[in-house]
Amino acid sequence: MAPNQLHLDAAESAFFDRQLEFIKAKTFDIKYPMFRSRQFIPTSGEVNPGATTVTYRQYNEVGQARIGSHASDHPPRVDINGEEFSRPVRSVEASYGWHQKDIKAAAMAGLDLNPRRASACRKAIERMLDEVAAIGAPKYGIATGALNDANVTVDPSGGTWDTPADPDDIIAEVAGMWQGIISDTHQVETADTLVLPPDQWAHIAVTARSTDNNMTILKYLRENMPDLTAIEPWYRMDEAGVASADRAWMYSRNADTLQNEVVQEFEQLPPQADGFEVVINCWAQTAGVAVYYPLAMRYLDGI
């Protein structure tokens, strides 16, 4: 018998096949709310899974028109310059399995195989995809992620928000980020999303703007910056800044600003015999996040 053939009789093999189909369906139904990169970063799956590199091109217009006269000739040339940016496609891998004795025992007793191993495997892969989207994988050629792009402007905070900082100082810093994006993009962009570390988000959610009213800082920001439609917490903002400072992230949440390239979603390969175990290898592929328009994003460090 071939070494990679399953050592199960016909009834046990049929039982295992049914169980595996159930477990595969079950893992795809599980939700992972703590992995929020897909919520905050537009995700693309347009790249063919066979690709080894993802490249995008960025063009810039150069040249300027002039005011001429009827006698003028040779108008100034206007042209475009293009630049390519490439990132490697990396696989994210994990596996799970059962000892053949466990499969036989479950088949004999008519019990379901525990799907938690499959769930843990799916969760491990999704956690790594989430991390790559947030901060990249520098050792593997994906230098940065959405939270540490080198081309995004970093503003310094006047002090930590929950020391506590004066509510008006917090509001002024948020307004400064928002106005900075509008100014830097010449009104092409305005931010619609602010992501904060959980402690700072909780602080502005319960702290009154002033002693003479019940409006919290969070409510004030939402009502007075109508473009800012989402103010959310994400634990990955903790120590995300320079020198491990807590970081706030404001940006325009659309695919023209940034995009997370998940080249291949989670996939389970056919089961394989490995000694006395039956192993299911799983993987996904990612090229990480490309920030196409860094001027539409802004960081605030030291909050």
Residue with tokens 């409006």: 215
Facing residues of 156 across strands? 301
Q: Are 253 and 113 members of one domain?
A: no
3-class DSSP state of 5:
coil
Full DSSP string of 14-34: HHHHHHHHHHHHHHHH---TT
Residue 64 inside a domain? The answer is no
Residue 77 inside a domain? The answer is no
| Distance in angstroms (rounded) separating the CA atoms of residues 187 and 256 | 15
Q: Are 99 and 186 members of one domain?
A: no
> Phi and psi at residue 227, in whole multiples of 5°?
-70, -25
Residue 76 inside a domain? The answer is no
The pLDDT value recorded for residue 146 is 98
Evaluate if pTM is beyond 0.75: yes
Return the closest-CA partner of residue 123 out of 87, 166, 92: 92
Q: Are 208 and 274 members of one domain?
A: no
Q: Are 130 and 171 members of one domain?
A: no
Facing residues of 272 across strands? 279
182 pLDDT more than 70: yes
The average confidence (pLDDT) of the chain is 88
CATH number for the domain spanning 177: value is: 3.30.2320.10
Q: Are 119 and 173 members of one domain?
A: no
Residue 46 inside a domain? The answer is yes
Q: Could you report the per-residue pLDDT of 249-259, keeping only the tens digit for each? A: 999 999 999 99
User: What average pLDDT does this structure show over 170-190?
Assistant: 95
Q: Are 207 and 157 members of one domain?
A: yes
Expressed as residue numbers, the domain containing 46 is: 10-56+85-144+259-291
Q: Could you report the per-residue pLDDT of 187-224, keeping only the tens digit for each? A: 999 999 999 999 999 999 999 998 777 899 999 999 99
User: What average pLDDT does this structure show over 1-22?
Assistant: 69
Q: Would you state the structure tokens that stand for residue 117, as one six-digit string?
A: 């191993």
| Distance in angstroms (rounded) separating the CA atoms of residues 216 and 47 | 44
Residue 191 inside a domain? The answer is yes
Residue 66 inside a domain? The answer is no
CATH number for the domain spanning 119: value is: 3.30.2400.30
148 pLDDT more than 90: yes
Q: Are 94 and 116 members of one domain?
A: yes
The pLDDT value recorded for residue 59 is 57
Q: Are 104 and 250 members of one domain?
A: no
Q: Are 235 and 286 members of one domain?
A: no
| Distance in angstroms (rounded) separating the CA atoms of residues 179 and 231 | 16
Q: Are 159 and 94 members of one domain?
A: no
- Of the given ranges (17-31, 129-143, 235-249), which has the lowest mean pLDDT? 17-31
Q: Could you report the per-residue pLDDT of 109-133, keeping only the tens digit for each? A: 777 787 888 889 999 999 999 999 9
The pLDDT value recorded for residue 3 is 47
Q: Are 31 and 128 members of one domain?
A: yes
Count of domains in the chain? 2
Residue 193 inside a domain? The answer is yes
Q: Are 178 and 38 members of one domain?
A: no
Residue 5 inside a domain? The answer is no
Quick check: 160 and 246 in contact, CB under 8 A?
yes
